[in-house]
């Protein structure tokens, strides 16, 4: 194997990791952003009124089906849509990707916790896939080359 061939393989490998991370970052960012936006929708229209109705119903549903008190579920639910939108934009645009991905992962773990409390196995599995993809993105984050505000250790 020549020196040029070894160097070429190294560059191709880095390019593949960069591409893999970019695909994960774009998918996770868009998914998180749209998950937040859908919280504001009802009957095809988007509004803050819809948001607080939707999140109030979500909090009440979790409280009535689990041991969690309403104050806890309501606080989480009322911040959820805003956090999903902010984290989704940060991941999508590459704003401090390590922190953005980690916080997004924690948010999905929190959502999973709520679904575990109401014994909603299918939703937990679905969110678990998101957490696995975020963990994979965190393993590849050092290959983030297309970030608006990158991490120092890339």
Question: How confident is the prediction for the chain on average, in pLDDT?
Answer: 93
The CA–CA distances, whole Å, from 19 to 12, 15, 26, 133, 138 equal 10, 6, 11, 15, 14
Helices marked H in the chain: 3-38, 48-64, 70-93, 97-117, 121-140
The yes-or-no verdict on residue 3 having pLDDT over 70 is no
Give the tens place of pLDDT for each residue, 40-85. 999 999 999 999 999 999 999 999 999 999 999 999 999 999 999 9
Give the tens place of pLDDT for each residue, 17-27. 999 999 999 99
pTM of the model: 0.89
Q: Could you give the maximum distance between any two Cα atoms of the chain, in Å?
A: 67
DSSP SS3 for 68: coil
């Amino acid at each position: 194997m020549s020196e040029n061939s070894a160097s070429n393989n190294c560059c191709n490998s880095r390019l593949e990791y960069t591409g893999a991370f970019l695909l994960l970052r774009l998918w996770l960012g868009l998914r998180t952003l749209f998950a937040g936006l859908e919280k504001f929708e009802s009957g095809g229209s988007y509004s803050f009124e819809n948001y607080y109705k939707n999140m109030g119903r979500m909090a009440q549903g979790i409280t009535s089906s689990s041991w969690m008190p309403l104050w806890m579920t309501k606080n989480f639910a009322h911040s959820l849509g805003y956090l999903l939108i902010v984290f989704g934009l940060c991941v999508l645009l590459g704003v401090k990707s390590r922190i953005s991905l980690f916080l997004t992962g924690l948010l999905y773990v929190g959502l999973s916790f709520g679904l575990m409390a109401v014994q909603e196995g299918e939703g937990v599995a679905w969110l678990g896939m998101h957490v696995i993809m975020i963990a994979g993105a965190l393993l590849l984050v050092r290959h983030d080359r297309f970030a608006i505000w990158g991490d120092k250790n890339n």
